[in-house]
Amino acid sequence: GDALKAKLKDVIVREGEKVKKIRKDYGNVIIGDVTIDMAYGGMRGIKGLVYETSLLDSEEGIRFRGLSIPECQERLPKWHDKGEEPLPEGLLWLLLTGEVPTSEQVKGITREFHERGNVPEQVEAIIRSFPKDMHPMTQFSAAILLLQPQSKFAAAYREGVNKSKYWEYAFDDSLTLLAQLPRVAALIYRNVFKDGNITASSTHLDWSGNFSQMLGFNDRKFHELMRLYLTIHADHEGGNVSAHATHLVGSALSDPFLSLSGGMNGLAGPLHGLANQEVLRFLKKIQAQLPGPQYTKEDLTKTLWNHLNGGQVIPGYGHAVLRKTDPRYTCQREFALKHMPHDPNFKLVSDLYEVTPKVLTEHGKTKNPFPNVDAHSGVLLQHYGLVEEDYYTVLFGVSRAVGVLSQLVLSRALGLPIERPKSVTTEWVEKYIASN
């Protein structure tokens, strides 16, 4: 934690000066136009937000500080230097500083997470008392709020801290959150779906491995899967609902706990993070409708059309920015090809990949007929026995915290102001049209 903070201090001074100069010299340069369609259409395509940690290209997919997913898989440190998948601790370092960390630096973060990982007892008791039929994402968001009294940011603000120090408290809170989220998430899982017992933290394990163990999964391949999973779900630039919501709430100087909980409420929507749960439900629905394992592509096409004709979206397909297959889908497909090539659920996902883009193209509405991250993640978890799909978005949420909290720290460091875009009414639009 200390090494990261020291590094971050340098980066923040450097970046702060850069941004200041850009704004001073080029603040009036126009970077886009806004049409009436954009204003009604969910602000699609408007460049109205600076978000440093990652950038999404519509053809190529996500880059974390310039690194693609295959590059992250290659360059970020691995578990004991011999695992195959990147450690999300390394991604955290990369997102915050823009630099690839060494194995030693990553180990330091893992250690810090262990040191801060104890969830307050009264919080655990309340989580255990949640009704079992309360959705895991509702529990997760509520649990994050329960952690909020620990906020150093909120306490410092109350004490009248100088604004130049905001980022340090946001950083501190973010480390506490990231350290405690796995335990909170595992508690929810064990409590809702198992007997409530949970394995104590193992300090010899990394963040993902320890989380997997607390969930109750000790297969080393599952640990590798979780390292990949928690890395690739972390960040997807700033305009998606969970990132933007966290950013928006944080801009009011709400502390990282309040901000993250806000982001998680957005992630819980079926068009966003809940899509991974919806995909699994959809796969089960298809399996029930198919004549058996010998189904044909025509059978699949028919069930897809039935679903679309019922006025529902095909979950896991389409994207607001992407126009190609999501590289987060591709790397999960590669994981499946390597570790579970004969899994029947993987076969179904694979067969759907061949059929769905054609059907969606013929359907003629969606701008992107290709699969996104959520089309694949569920069947990997099913394979290792994490079969309760209502839980899947919580895993997404634990990962997404890495990205959105990194940016929150940087936003406070750059002194970004309260977010407040201008809205207009339809009456205003009509008058504007008439006068032009």
Binding site for ligand AMX (CB under 6 A): 240, 271-273, 275, 308, 313-320, 365-368, 372-374
Compute the least distance from the CB of residue 319 to ligand AMX, in Å.
5
The candidate with the shortest Cα–Cα distance to 82, out of 210, 207, 223, is 223
Choose between 12 and 360: whose C-beta lies nearer to ligand AMX: 360
HSE-CB for 350 with a 13 A CA cutoff: 15
Helices (H), 340-434: 344-363, 374-383, 392-413, 426-434
Whole-angstrom distance, CA of residue 214 vs CA of residue 182: 8
Compute the least distance from the CB of residue 409 to ligand AMX, in Å.
23
Compute the least distance from the CB of residue 32 to ligand AMX, in Å.
17
Residue tagged active-site, from 223, 247, 272, 383: 272
Whole-angstrom distance, CA of residue 432 vs CA of residue 15: 39
DSSP secondary structure string for all residues of 26-78: HTT-------HHHHHTTTTT-------SEEEETTTEEEETTB-HHHHHHHS-B
CB-closest chain residue to ligand AMX: 318
- Judge whether 133 counts as a catalytic residue: no
Choose between 272 and 376: whose C-beta lies nearer to ligand AMX: 272
Whole-angstrom distance, CA of residue 162 vs CA of residue 157: 8
Residue tagged active-site, from 233, 244, 247, 319: 319
Compute the least distance from the CB of residue 398 to ligand AMX, in Å.
14
Compute the least distance from the CB of residue 265 to ligand AMX, in Å.
14
Choose between 201 and 276: whose C-beta lies nearer to ligand AMX: 276
- Judge whether 374 counts as a catalytic residue: yes
- Judge whether 272 counts as a catalytic residue: yes
* Sole residue written with tokens 């059907």: 359
Choose between 3 and 313: whose C-beta lies nearer to ligand AMX: 313
Whole-angstrom distance, CA of residue 404 vs CA of residue 418: 16
Residue tagged active-site, from 255, 374, 376, 383: 374
The candidate with the shortest Cα–Cα distance to 390, out of 50, 149, 139, 179, is 139
Choose between 14 and 365: whose C-beta lies nearer to ligand AMX: 365
Residues annotated as catalytic (active site), given as ranges: 272, 319, 374
